[in-house]
Amino acid sequence: MIVMKFGGTSVESAAAIERVAEIVSSRRSQSPVVVVSAMAKVTDQLVEMGQRAAAGEAAGALDLLSCLRQRHLATAQELLGTKRGAAVAPRLEVHFSELNNFLRGLAAVRELTPRGSDYLLSFGELLSSLLVADAFVVRRLNASWIDSRQCLITDATYTRAVPQMLATRSRCKKKISPLVHKKRIPVMGGFIGSTAEGVPTTLGRGGSDYSAAIIGAALEATRIEIWTDVEGMMTTDPRLCGDAKTIRRISFNEAAELAYFGAKVLHPATLLPAIHQDIPVYVLNSRNLKSTGTEITAQAPPSRDVFRAITAKSSISIVNVVASRGVMVHGFLRSVFEAMDRHGASVDIVAISEVSLSFTMETKRLPPALLNDLARIADVTCENEQAIICLVGEDIHGKPGIAASVFNTVARAGVNVRMISQGASEINISFVVKQSDVPRAVRALHEHFFPSARPAKRTRARKSKVPLPERMNGSGVKELEARSFREQETEVLAQTKSVAGAS
């Protein structure tokens, strides 16, 4: 069997769901299990409803709920026709009335707990999965709706629950496998699960990808397909850089690094279950059925470019911890790390000297209590609105000059680098810049490291007829100056490769 996950934009409207039905129909013989996200923007709207209700604005929250209800009922009617749409409506209305009660209660108590938030957000995927399952049945696909809360079992870390694989496996085998054996197509919501006691949980924003991988691992799927709104994993976020190109094949390690450092196309934990069971993952475009997408497997052929891709992760804080005067330097680092441990701080990049340490964390995950704790042992300052830019490639290790060209390129783009990390992971170079500098830095780096993604005209213009030795010995100085650093570097790398090949 295979798992097919469709993201928010892939189920955003009746037309999009029609396309999903077509895609699933084309894979019918491979025993698909379908996992869907909430319709595009619905989770954001649920978040806003929760915030408004918790602020006592019941009317505003209920207005938003009314729009959400209209959108789902109208889509149901468009997909299922007036008669069947009306028949399905009561199943959806049950959820809207639960939501209505919850928002009123929230406006009364004015407190939205993480547990309450998970309950609230779970409705997005419950509603979309019900719609999609019915749309399939009407299109003669033998679909059965599955309640994900009964299959995906997690701990009680609300808002980013951790899956309990043993329990999940046994539930999936009991609830999903028999349907697959009967040639039915199970359809379920991603992102949501429940504790062993049945309290709804979520896997964190963007978690439907992770759900698909968890279900795939639990059911020993032969492949996991992530259908989204772009051609696959790309050399950078296409919203940042129009020249981004699709990566045909990439290794688990590289893709996991990219997902962790901000390639939103995959939830950061998605690849863990797949790696564990060596299940290939495909990222595909639900708007272009002919797309070959990206294949993610244990091994991938080396990239033609120096790096496989560039990512950026925004909303980062830098915390600078400097040992106070008079404090014993000995034991300083230990105290800092112990404080991080006490607060369960998950740190991205660390730079250390004898008496100072800087680290980065997602701003929303930085516990104020950690800063207070650190302030007892050191002088602490915090810089918000920072971003980590990360360049990933399995072949960068041991190649001279790569870091130099990364930082030269960033400097030429006029971007200041605040922190640098290279070496901790063999496959990435990451550094911190101001969030507002991200587009400039990423575009410059992409243009520099992915020359084949540039328009053809500019590629032709780069070719030089002057032989290399002449240029090197000074007679071609003007031309050498006119050529970009990148072109020189490509040449040097090519020579290094041919020398290495010859030896």
Number of H helices, E strands in the chain: 17, 17
Task: Decide which of ligand ADP, Mg ion, ligand ASP, none touches 190; Cβ closer than 5 to 8 Å per partner kind.
Answer: ligand ASP
Contacts 24+ apart (CB under 8 A), 256-261: 257/390, 257/392, 257/425, 257/427, 257/428, 258/233, 258/308, 258/309, 258/311, 258/390, 258/392, 261/311, 261/312, 261/313, 261/348, 261/388, 261/390, 261/392, 261/428, 261/430
Q: Which amino acid is at 9?
A: T
CA quadruple 222, 226, 231, 234: dihedral sign: negative
Question: Is residue 253 near ligand ADP by the rule CB under 6 A?
Answer: no
Tokens of residue 341, six digits = 């441990």
Angle at the Cα of 152 from the Cα atoms of 136 and 40, rounded to 5 degrees? 50
Distance CA 256, CA 238 (A): 18
Question: Is residue 124 near ligand ASP by the rule CB under 6 A?
Answer: yes
Instruction: Quickly tell me which residue has 């059965």 as its tokens.
Output: 144
According to CB under 6 A, which one of 96, 136, 145, 191 is a site residue for ligand ASP?
191
User: Least distance (Å) from ligand ASP to the CB of residue 204?
Assistant: 8
Question: Is residue 230 near ligand ADP by the rule CB under 6 A?
Answer: yes
Which residue is at the shortest CB distance from ligand ASP? Answer: 208
Which residue is at the shortest CB distance from ligand ADP? Answer: 7
Residues 189, 148 contacting (CB under 8 angstroms): yes
Task: Decide which of Mg ion, ligand ADP, ligand ASP, none touches 43; Cβ closer than 5 to 8 Å per partner kind.
Answer: ligand ASP
Binding segment for ligand ASP among 204-212, 230-238, 442-450, 492-500 (CB under 6 A)? 204-212
Residues 494, 500 contacting (CB under 8 angstroms): no
According to CB under 6 A, which one of 8, 85, 273, 476 is a site residue for ligand ASP?
8
User: Least distance (Å) from Mg ion to the CB of residue 5?
Assistant: 9
Which residue is at the shortest CB distance from Mg ion? Answer: 206
According to CB under 6 A, which one of 31, 211, 236, 428 is a site residue for ligand ADP?
236
Residue 154 or 228: which CB sits closer to ligand ADP? 228
User: Least distance (Å) from ligand ADP to the CB of residue 224?
Assistant: 14
Binding segment for ligand ADP among 59-67, 70-78, 154-162, 222-230 (CB under 6 A)? 222-230
For residues 188-207, which are near ligand ADP according to CB under 6 A?
A: 206
Tokens of residue 457, six digits = 């005209």
User: Least distance (Å) from ligand ADP to the CB of residue 223?
Assistant: 17
Please name every residue paired with 228 in a beta bridge, in sequence order, or none if there are none.
285
According to CB under 6 A, which one of 28, 239, 412, 497 is a site residue for ligand ADP?
239
Residues 445, 391 contacting (CB under 8 angstroms): yes
Q: Specify the pairing of strand 428-434 against strand 356-362.
A: unpaired
For residues 6-35, which are near Mg ion according to CB under 5 A?
A: 7
Spatial strand order of the sheet with 428-434 comes to 350-352, 356-362, 309-323, 378-392, 428-434, 419-422
Residue 308 or 471: which CB sits closer to ligand ADP? 308
Contacts of 23 (CB under 8 A, 6+ apart): 4, 227, 286, 289
Question: Is residue 8 near ligand ADP by the rule CB under 6 A?
Answer: yes
According to CB under 6 A, which one of 85, 163, 190, 476 is a site residue for ligand ASP?
190
Task: Decide which of ligand ADP, Mg ion, ligand ASP, none touches 239; Cβ closer than 5 to 8 Å per partner kind.
Answer: ligand ADP
Note the helical H segments in 252-324: 252-260, 271-277
Residue 37 or 168: which CB sits closer to ligand ASP? 37
Residue 100 or 246: which CB sits closer to Mg ion? 246
User: Least distance (Å) from ligand ASP to the CB of residue 411?
Assistant: 36
Beta-strand runs (E) in 401-478: 419-422, 428-434
For residues 189-218, which are near Mg ion according to CB under 5 A?
A: 206
Q: Which amino acid is at 67?
A: C
Tokens of residue 204, six digits = 């964190």
Mark 291-320 with x for binding to ligand ADP (rule: CB under 6 A) and - for no binding: ------------------x-x---------
Question: Is residue 234 near ligand ADP by the rule CB under 6 A?
Answer: yes
Q: How many CB atoms lie within 10 A of CB 320?
A: 17
According to CB under 6 A, which one of 228, 253, 405, 490 is a site residue for ligand ADP?
228
Residue 11 or 103: which CB sits closer to ligand ADP? 11
Footprint on this chain of ligand ADP (rule: CB under 6 A): 7-10, 37, 206, 228-230, 233-234, 236-239, 263-265, 309, 311
Footprint on this chain of ligand ASP (rule: CB under 6 A): 7-8, 37-38, 43, 124, 190-191, 205-208
